[in-house]
Amino acid sequence: MEVGLNHFLFVSVCLFSLGIFGIVTRKNAVMVLMGIELILNSANINFVAFAKYGNFGYQGQIVALFVIILAAAEAAIALAIVLNIYKTFSTVNVDEIDTMKD
């Protein structure tokens, strides 16, 4: 079977679902961040795939570049927040940080 748009979109769907799975099942906050990175990558594959198959010129690739930049900023901020959470609660398990629940 000739590789076409659907094949790339299928890889993207797999990455997206696995990222969601990682976010909802893992306890460690860093693992949740890894799930977010998987989702951002799947969105990027979509952008680049439609840039090739969608007759939009290079706009998809430009947006993919912007997404990569935002992912870098997001990872830095999120890691700083996780470090602060670790200093405050000495754990990074997202199910144990429920101080506001009381």
Partner 1 sequence: MSLYDIIFYLFAAITVLSAFFVVTTRNIVYSAYYLLFTFFGVAGIYVLLGADFIAVTQLVVYVGGILILLLFGVMLTNKITNVQIKTGTVKLAPAAVGVALLAGTLFAGLLNTNWKTFVADVPASTAHTLGLLLLQQYAVVFELLGILLLIALIGAASMARK
Yes or no: say if 97 and 91 are a contact pair by the CB < 8 Å rule: yes
Q: Considering only residues 9-48, where is the footprint of partner 1 by CB under 8 A?
A: 9-11, 13-22, 24-31, 33-35, 37-38, 41, 44-45, 48
Yes or no: say if 34 and 25 are a contact pair by the CB < 8 Å rule: no
User: Shortest gap between Cβ of 32 and partner 1 (angstroms)?
Assistant: 10
Query: Is 4 exposed, middle or buried, given 0-12, 13-18 or 19+ CB atoms closer than 10 A?
Result: exposed
Residue 64 binds partner 1 (CB under 8 A):
yes
Strand partners, 28: 93
Structure token digits, residue 1: 């079977």
Q: Which is nearer to partner 1, 38 or 100 (CB)?
A: 38
Residue choice 53, 98, 99, 102 for contact with partner 1 (CB under 8 A)? 53
User: Shortest gap between Cβ of 101 and partner 1 (angstroms)?
Assistant: 15
